[in-house]
């Protein structure tokens, strides 16, 4: 035999030499959940090793993240009170706005990205204003854009709208530009599916819908071409980065978008994906490090430039322990 693929697998050195896909810390964004109160660091039961943190507890967390080599966080806020209009989302003294200012005080070099949505702030748990029993798209746009502006005014480096309202990227871009924030990028949750893998997050963010579901605005998991249309629309409206969420069940979508789009592509390794692996590890069925690295490598191999993952800190620790900069 002249052609023997095993020649390039015969040692660790040669495997490293020809490896096509590697993970570095520059690939990752780490999600953080902030809550009102003081002295709070409570582990989220559905997301082991992730916590609800009060503002005064952010210093230790941000310093740890930065010292591990992670340079970007994605903020989610849980307000003390909710109402039908989600007014806490765009309040000057809102929980996310306070957290942004505190993180920037602690570490100016940390990139602060904010999730822009109303679901954590509305009493009904939906991502916009309710009219006739459904989320009303156009009246929600102004609130989404106002929320994004309030985050940027507080010091956010990037905003990430996750509401899936039609036209929200254009509304945010217009609002930011009108207020001289034309250099702030938008990372759009462009193809966000109505997935069964969000359960642990909804527990963490106290954001489960109080009635119905989100299928009228989040995407049908069966659809691929629709995802490409959503991505195209967001690009036309001014998105700087497009995102696919979830990641593992949608690797084909990540790959399709990568092949058809010249913008950076992000993927959200969501709470259910993380929790499933943690549960299997707890039962002794999987090696956590090997499984997590394989899972995250598959997301990057599919075409994601950016990975939002609850495993980011673990990846950083493993790299540090092994004295390596890529894995």
Tell me the average pLDDT across 129-157.
90
Q: Which of 245, 278, 300, 313 is catalytic?
A: 245
Q: Give strand pairing partners of 313.
A: none
Helix, strand or coil for residue 242? Answer: strand
**238 pLDDT tier (thresholds 50, 70, 90):** very high
Q: Are 106 and 58 in contact (CB under 8 A)?
A: yes
Question: What is the pLDDT of the chain when averaged over all its residues?
Answer: 91
Task: Write down the pLDDT at residue 122.
Answer: 86
Residues 84-111: tens digit of each pLDDT: 778 788 888 999 999 999 999 999 999 9
Provide the terminal-to-terminal Cα distance of the chain, rounded to the nearest Å.
33
Q: What global pTM score does this model have? A: 0.92
Phi/psi for 167 (5° steps) reads 85, 5
Task: Write down the pLDDT at residue 209.
Answer: 59
Residue 9 has pLDDT above 90, yes or no: yes
The Cα 36–Cα 63 span in angstroms is 20
**pLDDT over 90, % of the chain:** 73
Tell me the average pLDDT across 191-208.
77
Nearest to 22 by CA among 255, 309, 307: 307
**Angle between helix 225-237 and 251-260 (nearest 10):** 50
Task: Write down the pLDDT at residue 207.
Answer: 59
Q: Give the tokens for residue 261.
A: 């789009």
Residue 117 has pLDDT above 80, yes or no: yes
Residue 236 has pLDDT above 90, yes or no: yes
Task: Give me the domains of the chain, ranges plus CATH numbers.
Answer: 5-322 (3.20.20.70)
Active site residue 245: yes
Residues 261-306: tens digit of each pLDDT: 999 999 999 999 999 999 999 999 999 999 999 999 999 999 999 9
Residue 192 CB burial class (10 angstroms; 0-12, 13-18, ≥19): buried
The DSSP line for 71-86 is: -EEEEEEE-S--BTT-
Q: Are 267 and 245 in contact (CB under 8 A)?
A: yes
**Alpha-carbon torsion angle 49, 52, 56, 58, nearest 10:** 50
Q: Are 175 and 149 in contact (CB under 8 A)?
A: yes
Q: Which of 82, 98, 175, 192 is catalytic?
A: 192
Tell me the average pLDDT across 113-125.
85
The DSSP line for 97-133 is: HHHHHHHHHH-TTSEEEEEE-STTTBTT--SS-EETT
The Cα 176–Cα 183 span in angstroms is 9
Task: Write down the pLDDT at residue 210.
Answer: 60
For the chain, the 3-state helix, strand and coil shares in percent, each to the nearest 5, are 45, 20, 35
The Cα 77–Cα 134 span in angstroms is 24
Task: Write down the pLDDT at residue 176.
Answer: 97
């Amino acid at each position: 035999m002249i052609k023997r693929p095993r020649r390039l697998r015969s040692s660790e050195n040669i495997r490293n030499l020809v490896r096509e896909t590697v993970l570095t810390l520059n690939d990752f964004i780490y999600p953080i959940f902030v809550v009102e109160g003081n002295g709070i660091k409570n582990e989220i039961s559905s997301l082991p090793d992730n916590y609800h943190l009060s503002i005064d507890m952010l210093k230790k967390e941000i310093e740890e993240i930065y010292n591990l080599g992670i340079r970007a966080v994605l903020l989610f806020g849980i307000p003390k009170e909710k109402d039908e209009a989600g007014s806490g989302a765009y309040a000057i003294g809102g929980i996310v706005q306070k957290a942004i200012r505190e993180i920037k005080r602690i570490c100016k070099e940390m990139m602060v990205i904010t999730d822009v949505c109303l679901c954590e702030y509305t009493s009904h748990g939906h991502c916009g204003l309710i009219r006739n029993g459904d989320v009303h798209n156009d009246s929600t746009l102004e609130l989404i854009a106002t929320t994004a502006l309030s985050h940027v005014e507080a010091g956010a480096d990037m905003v990430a709208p996750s509401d899936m309202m039609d036209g929200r990227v254009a509304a945010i871009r217009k609002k930011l530009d009108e207020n001289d924030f034309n250099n702030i990028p938008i990372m759009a949750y462009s193809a966000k599916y109505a997935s069964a893998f969000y359960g642990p997050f909804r527990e963490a963010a106290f954001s489960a819908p109080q009635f119905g579901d989100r299928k009228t605005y989040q995407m049908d998991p069966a659809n691929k071409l629709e995802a490409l249309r959503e991505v195209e629309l967001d690009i036309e409206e001014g998105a700087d980065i497009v995102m696919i969420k979830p990641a593992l069940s949608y690797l084909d979508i990540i790959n399709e978008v990568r092949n058809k789009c010249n913008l950076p592509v992000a993927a959200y390794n969501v709470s259910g994906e993380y929790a499933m692996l943690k549960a299997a590890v707890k039962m002794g069925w999987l090696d956590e490090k090997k499984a997590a690295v394989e899972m995250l490598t598959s997301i990057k191999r599919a075409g994601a430039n950016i990975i939002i993952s609850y495993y980011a800190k673990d990846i950083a620790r493993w790299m540090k322990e092994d004295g390596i900069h890529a894995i």
